[in-house]
Copies of this chain bind each other. A is one copy, B any other.
């Protein structure tokens, strides 16, 4: 049994190579081998969002606060709210983030394949985001 105590891990600023706007990552966690899941709590300020990306074994989002948007390629933009659980299939190109006026916080969980948990793609343009 290992316990990572609240406050023992510094908040991480979302890397601008992979995110647009202000994103904060808290409480990262990772299973030990042969477990392969990892995750974190991610907070997006209004207007902030991930780049388009895919996950080799899919991704689960548990929305915990605020109100956000999520979209798979060629699909409609969907709202997400606390208590909603989102699932993106392996290889499904998508993005998620706050709405243009509200922050959102979700726990993101994914499994790695061949040591990789995500493939980052291009940013979500302002024109696309604000459609």
Name the B residues within 8 Å of A17 (CB-CB). none
Tell me which of A24-32, A45-53, A121-129 binds B.
Answer: A24-32
Is B1 touching A70 in the complex (CB atoms < 8 A)? yes
B83 near A6 with CB under 8 A, answer yes
CB distance from A69 to the nearest CB of B (A): 12
Could you tell me the distance in whole angstroms from the C-beta of A18 to the nearest C-beta in chain B?
A: 19
Q: A23 contacts the other chain (Cβ, under 8 Å)?
A: no
Distance in Å: Cβ of A71 to nearest Cβ of chain B: 8
Within 8 A of B (CB), among A14-44: 27, 29, 31-32, 34-37, 39
A4 near B85: Cβ-Cβ < 8 Å? yes
Docked-complex contact B84 and A3, CB < 8 angstroms? yes
Measured between alpha carbons, how far is A35 from B109 in the docked complex, in Å? 11
Query: By the criterion CB–CB under 8 Å, are B6 and A84 in contact?
Result: yes
Task: Check A2–B83 contact: CB distance below 8 A.
Answer: no
Q: Is the CB of B31 within 8 A of A1?
A: no
B-contacting residues, A65-86, CB 8 Å: 70-72, 75, 78, 80-86
